[in-house]
Structure 1
Amino acid sequence: MALRGLIMDYAGVLTDGAEMRDLPRRARAAGRPTALVSSAGSVSREIEALFDVLVLGGTVGAMKPDPEVYRRTAALLGLTAAECVVVDDLQANIRGAREAGAVGVLHDDPDTTIGEVEILLALPD
């Protein structure tokens, strides 16, 4: 199944520099739906504007690392979890995403994460 959606974490991922905040913009420009999944109760309007769907706190009835949060978020994007790439900086959350069927990218540094997501979602340079 082709990977068509991007689900990202906030703290530790999007807060890791402008190039990380550019990644959801690039994904959307390439026609890939985007979602933010965060334990945070709110994010800035700048961050909100980067995503098609926001899942903050337990708004979908599940929280990370529960695999159900990724299934429900993918459904809000009109996709299955198996069609999504999940980027998070915590191993437990990546495990939950993988259990849901998503492809997980453990964020450690921007260059590596961006390179992996570009390949997985076939993003143009």
Structure 2
Amino acid sequence: MPNQVSMGAMMMCSFGAAPSSLVVLPKNKVLCEGPPAANIMDHLPMTNILPFGMCSSPANPTVAAATAAALGVLTPMPCVPATTTPWVPGAPTVLIANMPALDNISRCMCNWGGVIQFSNPGTAKTMIP
């Protein structure tokens, strides 16, 4: 059974070099085991989703430019998340601020081709049916 995701949940990007933690602002006014609970709209880059160290996606323009300058040798560059779409699928039967709650099986796509997923939901006891 999926767990509710809250502030401090650990995420990993398929093209990132390091984990990152989710930032959930208290605007939804719902707490989960202490920290604010997340919904699928908590996907804003540099607000909710912080960098994952270095990016190695060839679709990222900075990585492509650095790789071209290195004569085709893949050259990772600093990650700047580009998440324009909400997390999917979320938990449609549980609403937080009129949007589906964010569970630990949801994924978020980066414009550079990375898939962001949770390694730790930030909660231990709160399950979503």
Same fold (TM > 0.5): no
**TM-score w.r.t. structure 2 length?**
0.25
Structure showing greater Rg: 2
**TM-score w.r.t. structure 1 length?**
0.25
